[in-house]
Amino acid sequence: MEPYREDPMSTMRNAERQSIDLAAGTISYRESGPADGRPVVFVHGFLVDDGLWSDVPERLAAEGFHTFAPTWPLGSHPTPLNAGTELSPGHVAAIVLDFLERLDLRDVVLVGNDTGGAICQFLLDQDSSRIGRLVLTNCDAFEVFPPFPFNLLFRLMRHPGVSRPVMAGMRPAGLRNGPLGFGPLVKRKLGAEETVGWIRPYLDDAAVRRDTAAFLRGWRAGDLAEVSGRLDRFERPVLIAWAPADRFFRISLAHRLVEVFPDARLVEIPDARTFVALDQPAALATHIADFARA
């Protein structure tokens, strides 16, 4: 698959933005591609938004897929959930399922990254009937939920009064995208505009901080290990698309995922780290397209 646009940010801005009211609240998403194309739904991780996927959804849309890149309630969501909504990784998986059901999406190619990969695993454990294929890029699995030092961040952000001043220190792009921020998660240099939206909702909206704290109070590190042990129940095809240069989600984790699924294969994506779609969008889109058509 050849690059079809030179400016991913422009491509993303031109995608059709939608919102949908679910039981938990309003979810915003960008939608691209023909209505009769095979649906591909993306699940990002903690403290990022749909921009994490770069223009991968639009690249796939150009190949005939019907893509959906929502911003899930994981700390960077622009609209707070309804007050009193119960949150945890399992509850976010239920929100993803509600999204699929409300849009009546079937035979879905589900794509997860980072914490979003864990959410995908929780979803499979709850109800995999709408999922035709699964793509996991570098993500949590088994007892790695999340890797150090992000487990410390999860605990800190259970307490907004403590974490907000810490997060406010990330407003300058040099700090936000540096070694103590998002920098280690990518191989290339991040632009200021790529990440400012990841922290702004948390800093500016107390209700978003409320949602984030609720999610993290519902997080239990051992829950994913239990779910990962049941992944062999999902018998449909799985692609593990992994960047071996990742400092946090090691390639050994990818091999373990391949072993647990009955029908899985591994492809390695060089010159990338955790946020594979930002480092290598063309390569990732090609792997997803080839896998979805196989």
In 3D, which of 247, 69, 59 has the Cα closest to residue 147? 247
Total residue length of the chain: 294
Q: Please report, for residues 223, 234, 252, the alpha-carbon distance to residue 176 in angstroms, rounded to integers and kept in the order given.
A: 30, 38, 29
Mean pLDDT of 101-117: 99
Predicted confidence at residue 16, as pLDDT, reads 82
- How far from chain centre, in Å, is Cα 17? 18
Predicted confidence at residue 81, as pLDDT, reads 98
- CA dihedral angle for residue 86, residue 90, residue 92, residue 96, rounded to 10 degrees: -130
Token code pair at residue 268 = 């390695």
How many C-beta neighbours within 10 Å does residue 25 have?
18
Q: What is the pLDDT of residues 160-207, one digit of tens each?
A: 888 999 899 889 999 899 998 999 999 999 999 999 999 999 999 999
Binned at pLDDT 50, 70 and 90, residue 7 comes out as low
Q: Which amino acid is at 166?
A: V
Domain 8-293 belongs to what topology? Rossmann fold (3.40.50)
Q: Please report, for residues 18, 31, 125, 142, 192, the alpha-carbon distance to residue 224 in angstroms, rounded to integers and kept in the order given.
A: 31, 30, 10, 6, 33
- Total-model pTM: 0.94
CA distance 281 to 4: 12
In 3D, which of 4, 140, 149, 7 has the Cα closest to residue 74? 140
Q: What is the pLDDT of residues 265-276, one digit of tens each?
A: 999 999 999 999
How is the chain split into domains, by residue range? 8-293
Q: What is the pLDDT of residues 34-88, one digit of tens each?
A: 999 999 999 999 999 999 999 999 999 999 999 999 999 999 999 999 999 999 9
Q: What is the pLDDT of residues 87-99, one digit of tens each?
A: 999 999 999 999 9
Phi, psi of 103, deg, nearest 5: -90, 0
How many C-beta neighbours within 10 Å does residue 23 have?
11
Strand 39-43 versus strand 66-71 pairing type: parallel
- Which of 8-17, 108-117, 184-193, 267-276 is least confident? 8-17
